[in-house]
Structure 1
Amino acid sequence: MSRVLLIGAGEVGGKHLAALVGAPGLTVCGVADPAPTAQMDENVPVFASWRSALTSLAPDLVVVATPPGTALTVAREAARATAAVLVEKPATTDLAALAPDPCDRQIFVGFQPHFAPGLAALLAQPPAVGSAEVRLAVRRDPHYYRGWRRSRATAGGVLHQQAIHGLALVLRLMPGDVDAVDATVVHRRALAETEDHVTAVITLADGPTVHIDARVDHPGRPFHKVVLHLTDGRRLQVRGRNLEAGLGESTTAPSDSDLRRAMYAAVLGTATGQPPHPCLYPLTALPRPLEVIDRVYRDARVVRTAYSTRP
C-alpha cells in the first residue's frame, strides 16, 4: 500500500482527497494545511506544517495542491524528501523560478485530462499537426475570484487556470518556437484583475498555428475541447467538459476521479523505475506553455466593455 501525503486541503485539495479515498493501492497518510476546508476522514492526521508532515510521514507520493505562489517551492522540497511528487497546474507563473533543479525529474504537473481515452497513443507517437484549436467556455462567478485567483500575475488568468489543460496538450504535440502572436483579451464584468475572454492565434516556427478561444463568462453548457488538424488531412477532436472524453465518446468518458487515479499510479510508477507514462507531464516541460501564455498576455490588445449576457 503506497502512502500519500496531500499538501493543501482547499478547493483543489478536496478534489484530490475525493479521488484518493478508495483508490486501489493508496492510503492517505496525512494532510498538511494550516486551515483546511476540504472534508476529511477524522482518522487522517492533519499537520499545520507541510515540512513537519514530510519529516514525520515519509510518504511514497506527495500531492501538492497549494496556490501557485508556494506550490513550486513545496514540490521541490517534497521531491528532495521523497520519491514522487505531483503538483497542481500551473505550479508557478515565475519562469525564472523554473530554472532547472536536479529534483525536477521527480516532479510531474497535474494534468489529469491528458489521461483521457486515446491520448496515451497520441502522445507516445505524436502525429504531424498543421493547426490546432483550443476552445473553452465555462462560467466563473464572483465567489471563484477570491484570494490568489484575483490576479493574473499570481495565476488567476483564464489561460493559467482554465485553458491550460488543452494548451499544454497541444504544445506537447506541436514543437517549435513562437514566431508571432495575435491576441485579444476582453474584460466585461470587472470581477477581478483577470479577464473574461481571450482569443489568440499563435504562429509557430515553419507555419503551424494554435487558435485559442477561452472564456469564463459563458451562460451555456460548459466545455473544453481541442481540435487537431493533421497534415495528412485527418481531424482529431478531444472532447468533454474538461477533455475527459479524449478521443472517445462523451457517453463513456471516465470520471475526474478515475483520471486522477490513473495519474497517481503513473507518478508512483516512476518511483519504482518504470519508464514515464506517455500521459505524464514533467515539470521540465512546463516552461514552454507558460512562455506562450506570457507572450499572449504581453502582446494582446486589451478591450474593456460594458457587461453583456451574450456569449
Structure 2
Amino acid sequence: MRRVLLIGSGEVGAKHAEALTRTEGVDLVGVADPSPVVTPPAGVPLLARWETALDRFAPDVVVVATPPGTALAAARAAARGGAAVLVEKPVTLDPADLTAAPEDERIFVAFQPHFAPGLAGLLDQKPTVRRAAVTLECRRDRAYYRTWRTRYATAGGVLHQQAIHGLALALRLLPPSPITSCTAQVHRERRWAESEDRITATVTFEDGTVLTVNARVDSTDQPRRHELTLHLDDGQQVHVRGRNLEAGLGDPLSAPGDLELRQAMYRALPAGDAGPYHPSLFPLPQLRRTLEVIDHAYRTARNVSESGTAA
C-alpha cells in the first residue's frame, strides 16, 4: 500500500482526493492546505502547512494541486524527500524556473489524458510528425475566473490552463527543434479576467515542422472538444479525439472517464528510482519546452479588439 499525501484542497485537489480514495493500492494519509475550499474525505487529516505534512507522513507519493506560485517549490521539496511526485499543470509560468534540478527526475506532470487509449503506444513508437494542430473548444463561465485564476501573472492564459494537455502531447511527438517564427492573435471580449477568450497561433520550427493552435474558452454553439491532429512524414494523419483528448486513438463513444484515467496515472507512478517509466508519464523537465513555446506565442501575439482589428 503506497502512502499518498495531497497538497491542495481546491477544485482540482478535490478531484484527486476522490480518485485517490477509489484507487486500489494507495492510501490517502493526509491533505495539506492552509485554506481548503473542499473538505478532505472523512477520516483524512488536514494540515495547514505542506512542509509539516511531508515531515509527519513521510509519503511514498505526493500529489501537488496548488497554483503555480507554490506548486514547484512543494513538488521539489517532496521529491528531495524521496517521494514520487505528481504535480498539476501549469506548475510554473516561467520556463526558466525549470532549469535542471536533480530532484526533477522524480516529478511528473498530471496530464491524465495522455493515458487515453493508444497514446502509450504512440509515444513509445514516436512516428515522424511534420505538422501538429491543437484545437480547443469549451466554455468557461465567470465563476471559473476567481481567486488565483483572475490574473495572468498567477494563472497564465488559455494555453497554460486549458490547451496545455494537447500542446504538451504535440511537442512530445514533434522533433525538438528551435522556434524560427511565430504568429499569434489573442481575443479578449468578455474581460472577466486578464486571460484571453481565444488564441490562435502558428509556430514554425527550424526543421520545417509546424504547430498550430486554435483554442477558445468562450464557445457557445460548438460541442466541447480538445483534440490533436498529427500529420506524419508518410502522409498519414493521426487524430487524438475527445472532450479533453480522453478518447485517444479509440472510439469517442467508448472513451474512459476522468476517474479511470487518473487511476491509470497514479498506478504508473514509479516506486523508487527504477525505470523505464510508463510512456504516458510526463517528466517535469519536458515541460520546459512546452512553456517556452507558450511563452513565445504570448510574447509575439497581437491583441484583437472587439471590432476585429489587431492592435
Q: Does 1:290 align with 2:291?
A: yes
Q: Deviations over 1:12-69 (max 9, x none)?
A: 1011112111201011000001121224322001111111110010111000001011
Aligned to 1:67: 67
Aligned to 1:243: 245
Amino acid at match of 2:109: V
Mean CA deviation greater in 255-264 or 151-160: 151-160
Name segments (4+ residues, structure 1) moved above 3 Å: none
Where does the alignment leave 5 or more consecutive residues of structure 2 unmatched? none
Aligned to 1:207: 208
Aligned to 1:123: 123
Give the conservation status (yes or no) of the 8 Å contact 1:148–1:156. Answer: no
Please report the TM-score for the alignment, with normalisation by the length of structure 1: 0.96
Mean CA deviation greater in 82-91 or 61-70: 82-91
What's the CA shift for 1:271?
2.4
Identity %: 56
Mean CA deviation greater in 281-290 or 144-153: 144-153
Task: Check 1:39–1:250 CA distance in 2 against 1; reply closer, same or farther (3 A cut).
Answer: farther
Give the conservation status (yes or no) of the 8 Å contact 1:188–1:306. Answer: no
Q: Does 1:187 align with 2:188?
A: yes
What's the CA shift for 1:261?
1.0
For 1:124, what is the secondary structure of its paired residue?
Answer: helix
What's the CA shift for 1:82?
2.8
Where does the alignment leave 5 or more consecutive residues of structure 1 unmatched? none
Distance 2:9 2:182 in 1: 37
Give the conservation status (yes or no) of the 8 Å contact 1:270–1:276. Answer: no
Q: Does 1:145 align with 2:142?
A: no
Aligned residues: 306
What's the CA shift for 1:145?
0.6
For 1:31, what is the secondary structure of its paired residue?
Answer: strand
Task: Check 1:306–1:217 CA distance in 2 against 1; reply closer, same or farther (3 A cut).
Answer: farther
Give the conservation status (yes or no) of the 8 Å contact 1:189–1:306. Answer: no
What's the CA shift for 1:117?
0.5
Aligned to 2:265: 263
Distance 2:96 2:209 in 1: 27
Aligned to 1:169: 169
Q: Deviations over 1:211-236 (max 9, x none)?
A: 10000000132110000111111111
Amino acid at match of 1:47: L
Give the conservation status (yes or no) of the 8 Å contact 1:4–1:28. Answer: yes
Mean CA deviation greater in 88-97 or 133-142: 88-97
Aligned to 1:219: 220
Distance 2:80 2:34 in 1: 22
Amino acid at match of 2:169: L
Amino acid at match of 1:259: L
Amino acid at match of 2:264: A
What's the CA shift for 1:272?
5.8
Please report the TM-score for the alignment, with normalisation by the length of structure 2: 0.96
Distance 2:281 2:207 in 1: 27
Distance 2:287 2:178 in 1: 14
What's the CA shift for 1:304?
2.1
Give the conservation status (yes or no) of the 8 Å contact 2:247–2:255. Answer: yes
Q: Deviations over 1:89-144 (max 9, x none)?
A: 11001222211111111001111100100000110111111111100011011111
For 1:27, what is the secondary structure of its paired residue?
Answer: strand
Distance 1:151 1:216 in 2: 16
Give the conservation status (yes or no) of the 8 Å contact 1:9–1:65. Answer: yes
Distance 1:270 1:203 in 2: 39
Distance 1:261 1:223 in 2: 22
Task: Check 1:128–1:147 CA distance in 2 against 1; reply closer, same or farther (3 A cut).
Answer: same
Amino acid at match of 1:301: R
Distance 1:171 1:26 in 2: 31
CA RMSD after TM alignment: 1.3
Aligned to 2:254: 252
Distance 1:137 1:224 in 2: 6
Distance 1:58 1:306 in 2: 56
Task: Check 1:9–1:306 CA distance in 2 against 1; reply closer, same or farther (3 A cut).
Answer: farther
